[in-house]
Amino acid sequence: MNAKLLSIWRFSTLFYRTINFIVVAACDLDINRSNKHWLSLAFIIGYTISSGISGRLADTYGRRKMFVISLFINLICMLACAFAYNYVMLVIMTGFNGCAYGGIATAAHSYVLEFFPRRSRGRAGAVLSSFLTLENLYNSAIALPLLPYPFYYAIGSIYFTSWRLYILISAIPALLSFCTLLFMPNSIRFVLAKNDKKAFRDVLNKIDQINSCFSTSRTSHDKVLYSKITTLDLQQNDIHSKIRKEERRNLADDIRELMKQPWRRRFILLSILWIGYSIADHGFTIWLPTVMASYEGGKTCWHGYNKTENIPWNTTHLYNGVNSDCKSGDSLKAIILDILIGNLFSLPVTIFCFLLINRVGRKVLYIILASISGFCILMILLLDNRLSVMILACIFTAITTNAWIPCKIWTTELFHTKFRSTVVALHAKSLRRSFSRIGYELV
């Protein structure tokens, strides 16, 4: 069952990575330098709005329930994006997809790791991240044969093109994750934190069915479950009173508790850590294909863009006008191939994390990986030429995803189960607001 858990959420977040390529590949949507930031900004705004709410709902009603709902919304929005009538519709649906991603990101990590004991969480997190590496590989692998070779097929008033097919194929892992999650139980730690005796029995029964691949005898199984539950010394009246007390808790209660020691100090320090690294990771990753497209076009970080008037979408598509970063053919193929190579190199880095995370510790491993990521960004700015960008972008892609292995496990383990998802949500909310603004200003 744990193997299923590890694969669920990492294959459910592909749309976040598809945004990178859509900006430079959707040549028929009149995406230019004045509006190209709308897509990522809409996603980030949706994420920011939903993350705090989703985290609180996950702590109150269960990580799995929030996970299922968010995945369903994610699938609907990806389908709508694939058939978007124009760029404005694509931006709006991407915003809703950001809301869904907020629910996935805040609930999923806590949900998966709560099935593992502390001694196994480090390696479980490394395996979890390996699925993100496979996700990135899948994303780049399907982009390589599709996006550089555009085609057009009229469906009503829209033209079905290669980037639309790319979004639909990207949704397949999310669909598989959704179907798998329907058969998964809540985590034992969550139902124990809620003091819910019935839910605890149901979770144990579900886990037993999954592990044994068949339903056990109801009478004998219930006897075992009730004997185990009795040892927990959970009184029925106390359970109901505690559940009612938990239902009356709200986000303000969790924040007040976070402001007490030792939670306050941990929360502040980790907030600084999350914001700083996310500006480097998400803020640069989401714009990486655009940055590489600029270098492919002969521009550099220190080269100012000439101010030109917007040109019609068909002119942009046919002639790849100077006001657009849209790429196709060999130029786009080179960008995707470089990112794909970086994703391939991230596999041995993931293995490295798996072997060392319990030996050197989460903190030391995070510092090493985050430092390398920051160094790559700094060198891109200093060297400022096409060849160096291609090499450093490859290294950055291989390292940056894996740094979240120790960071997220570290964060998850430092806070109590009852408000763990809320803490992750608050961190995510603050970091998205920060790097979205910086990305808007810089790109």
pLDDT 10s digits, 382-423: 887 888 888 888 888 888 888 887 887 777 777 766 656 666
- Residue, of 4 and 328, whose pLDDT is higher: 328
Does 238 have pLDDT greater than 90?
no
Which among 32, 146, 18 has a CA at the least distance from the CA of 94? 18
**pLDDT at 72 (0 to 100):** 92
More confident residue, 341 or 188: 341
Residues 6 or more apart from 237 whose CB is under 8 A from it?
none
Instruction: Please give the distance of CA 200 from its chain centroid, rounded to a whole number.
Output: 29
Residues 323-370: pLDDT tens digits? 566 777 888 888 888 888 888 888 888 888 888 888 888 889 989 998
Query: What was the pLDDT predicted at 206?
Result: 67
CB 170 within 8 A of CB 45: no
Task: Note the pTM of the prediction, 2 decimals.
Answer: 0.72
pLDDT category of residue 261 using cuts at 50, 70 and 90: confident
Q: How confident is the model at residue 438 (pLDDT cuts 50, 70, 90)?
A: very low
* Domains parsed from the chain with CATH numbers: 2-187+250-442 (1.20.1250.20)
For 362, the token pair is 């989460």
Place of tokens 């040549």: 27
Task: State yes or no: pLDDT of 76 exceeds 90.
Answer: yes
The full 3-state SS of the chain, as one line of letters, equals CHHHHHHHHHHCCHHHHHHHHHHHHCHHHCCCCCCCHHHHHHHHHHHHHHHHHHHHHHHHHCHHHHHHHHHHHHHHHHHHHHCCCCHHHHHHHHHHHHHHHHHHHHHHHHHHHCCCCHHHHHHHHHHHHHHHHHHHHHHHHHHHHHCCCCCEEEECCEEEEHHHHHHHHHHHHHHHHHHHHCCCCCCHHHHHHCCCHHHHHHHHHHHHHHHHCCCCCHHHHHHHHHHHHHCCCCCHHHHHHHHHHHHCCCHHHHHHHHCCCCHHHHHHHHHHHHHHHHHHCHHHHCCHHHHHHHHHCCCCCCCCCCCCCCCCHHHHHHHCCCCCCCCCHHHHHHHHHHHHHHHHHHHHHHHHHHHHHHHHCHHHHHHHHHHHHHHHHHHHHHHCCHHHHHHHHHHHHHHHHHHHHHHHHHHHHCCCHHHHHHHHHHHHHHHHHHHHHHHHHHC
**Mean of pLDDT values over 193-207:** 70
| CA distance to 25, 44, 75, 234, 313, per residue, from 92 (Å) | 19, 12, 15, 48, 19
Q: Are 398 and 343 in contact (CB under 8 A)?
A: yes
pLDDT at 390: 83
pLDDT recorded at residue 274: 78
Q: Is the pLDDT of residue 24 over 60?
A: yes
What is the pLDDT of the chain when averaged over all its residues?
74
**Which of these ranges, 90-94, 192-196, 269-273, has the smallest mean pLDDT?**
192-196
Q: Which pLDDT score is estimated for 429? A: 55
Whether 248 shows a pLDDT value over 70: the answer reads: no
Mean pLDDT along residues 284-297: 76
Tokens 């700094």, residue?
378
Which tokens go with 44?
Answer: 């980030």
